[in-house]
Copies of this chain bind each other. A is one copy, B any other.
Amino acid sequence: MSIIAFIGLGHMGSPMVQNLIKHGHQLYVYDLDNHAMQHLTKHGAIAAKSPADAATHADVLYTMLQTDEQVKAVCLGANGMFQHAKANALYIDSSSIDIDASREMHRQALSAHIRMVDAPVSGGVAGAQAASLTVMVGGNQENFDAAKPFLECVGKKVIHAGAAACGQAAKICNNMILGISMIAVAEGFALAKKLELDPQKFFEISSQASGQCWSMTHYCPEPNLVANVPSDNDYQPGFTAEMMLKDLRLSQEAARNAHAATPLGAAATNLYALFANLGHGQLDFSGIIKMIKGIEI
């Protein structure tokens, strides 16, 4: 049993906390949203007065936040967790943030004598609830080994991607491919339909041929072809277009800083930006097929 300071109690963080509690850990939690905190106290968590307050009690610091600014505000400075943490505390950051920001956090942790891993997840709210997330972890072997038992409370696959920030890198490279291939599949079905090719027939053929993608066979944007996916439920998320757009923007930020060319990544980012700007950011990301088809959007 460990004592964990967990900051960030949104749609993802809240079920993650509950899963950590189920494994017997003691959780000090904090969020600007008081309701979220109160809700978790019913499950046995202790509401902290601040991130620093939470940190003073904990062996493990855990953040699940939206932006790198939030991560920095929670961890750094006089009121940050790093200042108030026990010597040699372990810090796990499951927020999806920019590569450079994550590297900076690793540097800050090192100089504060905090052991850190970045550990962004995929699998969405459903995965967080079912403790079936995939966790991509960046940090040295020793820190990975230390973090693994905690990550296995929230996820099913816990993978050591490499050194500092490699968890973030793995996630955004994967999600860039995902965002592009989702639009590719959407374009394929939209074109098939205009060519009077039955979607069911096209699915049968392409899902077993060289066009096969996870986006097609596990999350098909064309309705009525794959069971239990958002396209069968009027594109209720799932993983929203806004969240995909956030990850694509992180990929483009990383590409910019690393001087990489990602022409289709850039195009996909902007197609999701157009889709979001049209007011559909809260639809599932597979809903972009509506914009590609152009029907009654």
The reply to whether A173 and B201 form a contact with Cβ atoms under 8 Å apart is no
Q: Mark A118-161, 1 if CB is under 8 A from B, else 0.
A: 00001000000000001010000000000000000000010111
Find residues 167-192 in chain A having any chain B CB closer than 8 Å to their own CB: 169-170, 172-178, 180-181, 183-185, 187-192
A46: Cβ under 8 A from any B Cβ: no
Among A77-85, A108-116, A208-216, the stretch that binds chain B is: A208-216
The reply to whether B270 and A294 form a contact with Cβ atoms under 8 Å apart is no
A32: Cβ under 8 A from any B Cβ: no
Choose among B136, B205, B277 the residue that contacts A261 (Cβ–Cβ < 8 A): B277
A166 CB → nearest B CB, Å: 5
Chain B residue nearest to A181 (CB atoms) is B181
Find chain B residues with CB under 8 A from A190 CB: 260-262
A89: Cβ under 8 A from any B Cβ: no
The reply to whether A263 and B256 form a contact with Cβ atoms under 8 Å apart is no
A198: Cβ under 8 A from any B Cβ: yes
The reply to whether B261 and A292 form a contact with Cβ atoms under 8 Å apart is yes
Contact flag A266-B270 (CB < 8 Å), given A163-B196, A169-B195, A213-B212: yes
Find residues 245-297 in chain A having any chain B CB closer than 8 Å to their own CB: 249, 251-256, 258-271, 273-274, 276-279, 291-295, 297
Chain A interface size, as a band, is: 35 or more
The reply to whether B254 and A191 form a contact with Cβ atoms under 8 Å apart is yes
A204: Cβ under 8 A from any B Cβ: yes
Would you give 26 A-B contacts (Cβ < 8 Å), ordered by A? A122-B209, A166-B197, A169-B195, A169-B202, A170-B202, A172-B191, A173-B188, A173-B195, A173-B206, A174-B205, A176-B188, A176-B211, A177-B181, A177-B216, A178-B211, A194-B259, A195-B258, A210-B214, A210-B218, A253-B253, A261-B270, A263-B292, A264-B271, A266-B269, A274-B291, A278-B297
Residues of chain A touching chain B, judged by Cβ–Cβ distance below 8 Å, are 99, 122, 134, 136, 157, 159-163, 165-166, 169-170, 172-178, 180-181, 183-185, 187-192, 194-198, 201-202, 204-206, 208-216, 218-219, 249, 251-256, 258-271, 273-274, 276-279, 291-295, 297
4 closest A-B pairs by beta carbon, nearest first, are: A277-B294, A177-B211, A266-B266, A261-B273
